[in-house]
């Protein structure tokens, strides 16, 4: 008997449908899985066989062949355990054939028949819905994640017994009356002395039908809203750096901070999330897909509603940053998608590791090529970096004892092409005593109001154009929205010639000036806005 059960897998960030074909035929006992399975998929044979037996069902002593179609794509992971088990239970008539019609299954089986959660459920359910599978059975621990997809009915399954009981209850509900005493299904043993004994045998056991899971999206957003203990008011002094961070948050511009140890670079960077806008539902779903594939979703709330802030250590490898592995998983730059990637002590990272950031900073995606295939992950992150100006950190002061060749070698770890992609370059000076002992500065809430106002202007401006922030403008959009007057053009030309700017730096200055004008609530870019934008492009000329 042949049963076809629908399941799914993930390539990159997108799910796709896998048809699990289970054939039970006469012949020497065997259990074969074909269709480019990896070791974890092949081991499903032992998990499925043991789980079915331990839940009280007979495992067929026949020739079982499982085909995972399409057969030219490598399959990995234990998520095919449940669909394979369902196909076998349909073949042995424990489950009805209807259990495979228009339904989707995924889940890992334990040896006692219980279901364990799997990664990548959200993109798989999206693929199932797009392919007309509107009824989905997933592990109970993944049910809330799967229920985020509109238009599908999600049933949480704790064990094989739950699944069998669900379809048994459907079968009993379809009959007006259970079979009576004359049915061949029952044999009344001599020990049955009372009517209650007979009823317990002749009345079929009513099994519990599974209840679909429903998710209140608004409630999830309110429950998982970030509560920031840190605040910009904690940072004394540094008004220029705070202003640069405000511009960065408002337009989603990458930023580099250069300054001596103890000046507050890390303290300022970690407060960046407190002034950034909240995620909308579309952004939240995109991030949740990445975290689902990486297996990093919170068991308490399986929707990512807080903007990511990732701060990998400077010993991080190239693979941990970009993603990879035998079965590629997203790296730090993808986990920071729609959020902030903070690289503290930038010059301590390996140069080869930093160079891989160049393409994701431009394209907003990262492509990982492995023998098993090519995977593309989103990486539209805001890069926030900090570093010292020299090995000792006190370059240009009497404290510095670094030789010039040591400074040059130290700074050369950050290449010119990478620097050119950092929109805002800001110097962080040491804080004096008067600033430290002064009153608290402006709060994050006050700065965030201005950022939100600027973001609303950008969203209205770019409605229907596929972008939301100034940093993502194309050359054509820059020409359209960053028009300059005669005086502003002359100012920018002088800066271009004197600072020997690249074409990329020219465009980034215009984007930053557009953001500064938005923060001021002005429609046109003035000389004042342009001058501030130009001032953020001078550090690479000073140190490099």
Tens digits of per-residue pLDDT, 250-272? 999 999 999 999 999 999 999 99
CATH number for the domain whose boundaries are 219-435+442-543: 3.40.50.300
Residue with tokens 């770890």, as numbered in its chain? 413
Q: Within 273-344, where are the H helices?
A: 281-294, 318-322, 332-335
Average pLDDT estimate for 290-312: 88
pLDDT of residue 225: 59
pLDDT of residue 228: 67
pLDDT of residue 541: 72
Encode pLDDT of 492-504 as tens digits.
Answer: 999 999 998 899 9
Average pLDDT estimate for 100-115: 96
pTM beyond 0.75: the answer is: yes
Q: What six digits make up the tokens of 90?
A: 């349909």
Of residues 537, 478, 479, the one with CA closest to residue 505: 537
- Of the chain, the percentage scoring pLDDT greater than 90 comes to 73
Residue 298 pLDDT grade (very low, low, confident, very high; cuts 50, 70, 90): confident
The domain ranges of the chain are 2-202, 219-435+442-543
* C-alpha span between 84 and 68 (Å, rounded): 10
Please provide residue 121's backbone torsions phi and psi, each rounded to the nearest 5 degrees: -65, -45
pLDDT of residue 542: 74
* C-alpha span between 267 and 333 (Å, rounded): 21
pLDDT of residue 202: 41
- Of the chain, the percentage scoring pLDDT greater than 70 comes to 91
Average pLDDT estimate for 154-169: 92
21 pairs with which residues across the strands?
4, 67
* C-alpha span between 92 and 112 (Å, rounded): 19
Encode pLDDT of 359-405 as tens digits.
Answer: 999 999 998 887 667 888 999 999 999 999 999 999 988 889 999 99
Residue 187 pLDDT grade (very low, low, confident, very high; cuts 50, 70, 90): very low
Residue 181 pLDDT grade (very low, low, confident, very high; cuts 50, 70, 90): very low
Encode pLDDT of 390-449 as tens digits.
Answer: 999 999 888 899 999 999 999 999 999 999 999 999 999 988 888 887 777 899 999 999
pLDDT of residue 432: 85
Residue 224 pLDDT grade (very low, low, confident, very high; cuts 50, 70, 90): low
pLDDT of residue 209: 86
pLDDT of residue 495: 93
Q: Is the pLDDT of residue 140 over 50?
A: yes
521 φ/ψ sector (left φ>0, alpha ψ -120 to 50, else beta) = left
In what side-by-side order are the strands of the sheet with 103-105?
103-105, 135-139, 153-157
Contact criterion met (CB below 8 Å) for 431 and 263:
yes
pLDDT of residue 325: 76
3-state secondary structure 209-253: CCCCECCCHHHHHHHCCCCCCCCHHHCCCCHHHHHHHHHHHHHCC
Average pLDDT estimate for 294-323: 89
Of residues 221, 106, 227, the one with CA closest to residue 163: 106
Contact criterion met (CB below 8 Å) for 471 and 252:
yes
pLDDT of residue 103: 96
E strands of 70-204, at which residues? 103-105, 108-109, 115-116, 135-139, 153-157
Q: What is the average pLDDT value for the chain, to the nearest integer?
A: 89
Average pLDDT estimate for 215-221: 79
Encode pLDDT of 328-353 as tens digits.
Answer: 889 999 999 999 999 999 999 999 99
pLDDT of residue 398: 85
Encode pLDDT of 5-64 as tens digits.
Answer: 999 999 888 999 999 999 999 989 999 999 999 999 999 999 999 999 999 999 999 999
CB within 8 Å of 110: residues ≥ 6 apart: 47, 51, 116
* C-alpha span between 43 and 407 (Å, rounded): 55
* C-alpha span between 10 and 370 (Å, rounded): 15
CATH number for the domain whose boundaries are 2-202: 3.30.230.10
């Amino acid at each position: 008997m042949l049963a076809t059960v629908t399941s799914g897998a993930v390539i990159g960030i997108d799910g796709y449908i896998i048809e699990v074909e289970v054939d039970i035929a006469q012949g020497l006992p065997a259990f074969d899985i074909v269709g480019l399975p990896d070791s974890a998929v092949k081991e499903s044979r032992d998990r499925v066989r043991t789980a079915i037996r331990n839940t009280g069902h007979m495992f067929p002593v026949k020739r079982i062949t499982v085909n995972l179609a399409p057969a030219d794509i490598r399959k990995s992971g234990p998520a095919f355990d449940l669909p394979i088990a369902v196909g076998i239970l349909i073949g042995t008539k424990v489950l009805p054939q209807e259990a495979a019609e228009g339904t989707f299954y995924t889940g890992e089986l334990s040896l006692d028949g219980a279901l364990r959660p799997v990664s990548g459920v959200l993109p798989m359910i999206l693929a199932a819905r797009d392919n007309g599978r509107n009824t989905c059975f997933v592990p109970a621990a993944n049910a809330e994640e799967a229920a985020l997809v509109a238009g599908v009915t999600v049933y949480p399954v704790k064990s094989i017994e739950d699944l069998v009981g669900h379809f048994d209850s459907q079968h009993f509900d379809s009959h007006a009356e259970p079979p009576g005493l004359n049915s061949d299904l029952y044999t009344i043993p001599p020990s049955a002395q009372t009517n209650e004994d007979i009823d317990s045998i002749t009345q079929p056991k009513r099994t519990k039908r599974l209840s679909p899971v429903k998710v209140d999206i608004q409630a999830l957003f309110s429950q998982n809203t970030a509560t920031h203990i840190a605040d910009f008011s904690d940072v004394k002094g540094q008004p220029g750096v705070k202003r640069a961070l405000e511009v960065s948050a408002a337009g989603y511009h990458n930023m580099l901070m250069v300054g001596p140890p103890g000046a507050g670079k890390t303290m300022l960077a970690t407060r960046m999330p407190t002034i950034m806008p909240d995620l909308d539902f579309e952004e939240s779903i995109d991030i949740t897909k990445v975290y689902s594939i990486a297996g990093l979703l919170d068991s308490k709330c399986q929707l990512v509603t807080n903007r990511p802030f990732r701060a990998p250590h400077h010993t991080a490898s190239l693979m941990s940053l970009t993603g990879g592995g035998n079965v590629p998983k997203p790296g730090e730059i993808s986990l920071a998608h729609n959020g902030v990637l903070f690289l503290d002590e930038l010059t301590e990272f390996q140069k080869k590791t930093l160079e891989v950031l160049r393409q994701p900073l431009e394209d907003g995606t990262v492509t990982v090529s492995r023998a098993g295939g090519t995977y593309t992950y989103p990486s539209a992150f805001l890069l926030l970096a900090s570093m010292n100006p020299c090995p000792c950190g006190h370059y240009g002061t009497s404290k510095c004892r670094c030789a010039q060749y040591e400074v040059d070698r130290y700074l050369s770890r950050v290449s010119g092409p990478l620097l050119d992609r950092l929109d805002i370059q800001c110097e962080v000076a040491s804080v004096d005593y008067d600033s430290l002992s002064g009153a608290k500065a402006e709060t994050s809430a006050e700065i965030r109001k201005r950022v939100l106002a600027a973001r609303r202007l950008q969203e209205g401006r770019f409605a229907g154009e596929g972008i939301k922030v100034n940093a993502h403008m194309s050359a054509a959009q820059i020409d359209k929205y960053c028009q300059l007057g005669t005086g502003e053009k002359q100012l920018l030309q002088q800066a271009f010639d004197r600072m020997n700017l690249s074409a990329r730096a020219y465009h980034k200055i215009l984007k930053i000036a557009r953001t500064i004008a938005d923060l001021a609530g002005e429609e046109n870019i003035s000389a004042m806005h342009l001058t501030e934008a130009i001032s953020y492009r001078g550090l690479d000329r000073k140190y490099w």
